[in-house]
Amino acid sequence: MSSFVNPLDRHGSIDRPERAAIQLWTRQNLPLTDETAVSVSEFACVKPSCPNRQTVILVLCEDMSTQKMSIHKAMADVCEADVFDACLELLRNWPS
Protein backbone atom coordinates (compact mmCIF):
# COMPACT_ATOMS: atom_id res chain seq x y z
CA MET A 1 0.00 0.00 0.00
CA SER A 2 1.32 3.43 -0.95
CA SER A 3 1.67 6.23 1.59
CA PHE A 4 1.47 8.87 -1.15
CA VAL A 5 -1.02 11.63 -0.37
CA ASN A 6 -2.23 13.59 -3.38
CA PRO A 7 -2.28 17.26 -2.27
CA LEU A 8 -4.83 18.08 -4.99
CA ASP A 9 -7.28 15.37 -3.96
CA ARG A 10 -10.69 16.89 -3.26
CA HIS A 11 -12.12 14.63 -0.61
CA GLY A 12 -15.89 14.60 -1.15
CA SER A 13 -16.11 17.50 -3.60
CA ILE A 14 -19.91 17.39 -3.78
CA ASP A 15 -21.90 20.01 -1.89
CA ARG A 16 -21.79 19.45 1.83
CA PRO A 17 -23.66 21.27 4.61
CA GLU A 18 -20.31 22.06 6.26
CA ARG A 19 -19.27 24.05 3.18
CA ALA A 20 -22.37 26.29 3.37
CA ALA A 21 -21.84 26.87 7.11
CA ILE A 22 -18.18 27.84 6.59
CA GLN A 23 -19.16 30.23 3.80
CA LEU A 24 -21.79 31.84 6.05
CA TRP A 25 -19.38 32.19 8.99
CA THR A 26 -16.80 33.74 6.66
CA ARG A 27 -19.32 36.28 5.37
CA GLN A 28 -20.37 37.12 8.94
CA ASN A 29 -16.77 37.82 10.00
CA LEU A 30 -15.38 39.74 7.03
CA PRO A 31 -16.47 43.02 5.41
CA LEU A 32 -17.62 41.46 2.14
CA THR A 33 -20.01 42.67 -0.52
CA ASP A 34 -22.72 40.46 -2.02
CA GLU A 35 -20.59 40.23 -5.17
CA THR A 36 -17.64 38.71 -3.31
CA ALA A 37 -17.26 34.98 -3.89
CA VAL A 38 -16.31 32.68 -1.02
CA SER A 39 -14.95 29.29 -2.03
CA VAL A 40 -14.45 26.46 0.48
CA SER A 41 -12.48 23.35 -0.43
CA GLU A 42 -10.85 20.45 1.37
CA PHE A 43 -7.42 19.20 0.35
CA ALA A 44 -4.89 16.70 1.54
CA CYS A 45 -2.21 18.27 3.73
CA VAL A 46 1.28 16.86 3.30
CA LYS A 47 3.05 18.88 5.99
CA PRO A 48 4.16 16.68 8.88
CA SER A 49 2.77 19.19 11.39
CA CYS A 50 -0.83 19.09 10.14
CA PRO A 51 -3.50 16.40 9.96
CA ASN A 52 -4.25 14.57 6.71
CA ARG A 53 -6.86 17.10 5.58
CA GLN A 54 -7.03 20.89 5.51
CA THR A 55 -9.86 23.27 4.68
CA VAL A 56 -9.01 26.19 2.42
CA ILE A 57 -11.22 29.27 2.19
CA LEU A 58 -10.71 31.63 -0.74
CA VAL A 59 -12.22 35.12 -0.75
CA LEU A 60 -12.41 36.43 -4.30
CA CYS A 61 -13.09 40.17 -4.47
CA GLU A 62 -13.29 42.17 -7.66
CA ASP A 63 -11.33 45.11 -6.24
CA MET A 64 -8.45 43.26 -4.53
CA SER A 65 -6.35 40.15 -4.82
CA THR A 66 -7.69 36.78 -3.74
CA GLN A 67 -7.33 36.19 -0.01
CA LYS A 68 -6.63 32.67 1.29
CA MET A 69 -7.23 31.14 4.70
CA SER A 70 -6.18 27.62 5.68
CA ILE A 71 -7.61 25.68 8.60
CA HIS A 72 -5.68 22.51 9.34
CA LYS A 73 -8.74 20.35 9.91
CA ALA A 74 -11.07 18.35 7.72
CA MET A 75 -14.08 20.36 6.59
CA ALA A 76 -16.40 18.26 8.76
CA ASP A 77 -14.34 19.18 11.85
CA VAL A 78 -14.22 22.96 11.28
CA CYS A 79 -16.30 24.95 13.76
CA GLU A 80 -17.40 28.59 13.86
CA ALA A 81 -14.53 29.51 16.21
CA ASP A 82 -11.98 28.12 13.70
CA VAL A 83 -13.40 30.34 10.96
CA PHE A 84 -13.49 33.33 13.33
CA ASP A 85 -9.80 32.84 14.18
CA ALA A 86 -8.85 32.49 10.50
CA CYS A 87 -10.82 35.63 9.61
CA LEU A 88 -9.23 37.55 12.46
CA GLU A 89 -5.77 36.63 11.18
CA LEU A 90 -6.77 37.66 7.66
CA LEU A 91 -8.19 40.99 8.89
CA ARG A 92 -4.80 41.89 10.40
CA ASN A 93 -3.47 42.11 6.84
CA TRP A 94 -6.71 43.21 5.12
CA PRO A 95 -6.10 45.71 2.32
CA SER A 96 -7.33 49.22 3.17
Q: What is the pLDDT of residue 2?
A: 44
In a domain? residue 3: no
**Residue 70 belongs to what domain range?**
17-91
Residue 27 lies in a domain: yes
pTM for the full model?
Answer: 0.80
Q: What is the pLDDT of residue 20?
A: 94
> Do the domain assignments include residue 1?
no
**42 CB contacts (<8 Å, ≥6 apart)?**
10, 11, 12, 53, 54, 55, 56, 74, 75
Which residues of the chain, if any, have pLDDT below 70? Answer: 1-15, 96
* Type of residue found at 35: E
Give the type of residue at 72. H
The answer as to whether 11 is a domain residue is no
Give residue 32's region: left, alpha or beta (phi > 0; psi -120 to 50). beta
Assess if residue 81 is contained within a domain.
yes
Number of domains in the chain: 1
Identify whether 25 is part of a domain.
Answer: yes
Question: Is residue 12 domain-resident?
Answer: no
Quote the CA–CA distance of 68 and 70 in Å, as a whole number: 7
* Residue 8 belongs to a domain: no
pLDDT at residue 65, as a whole number: 85
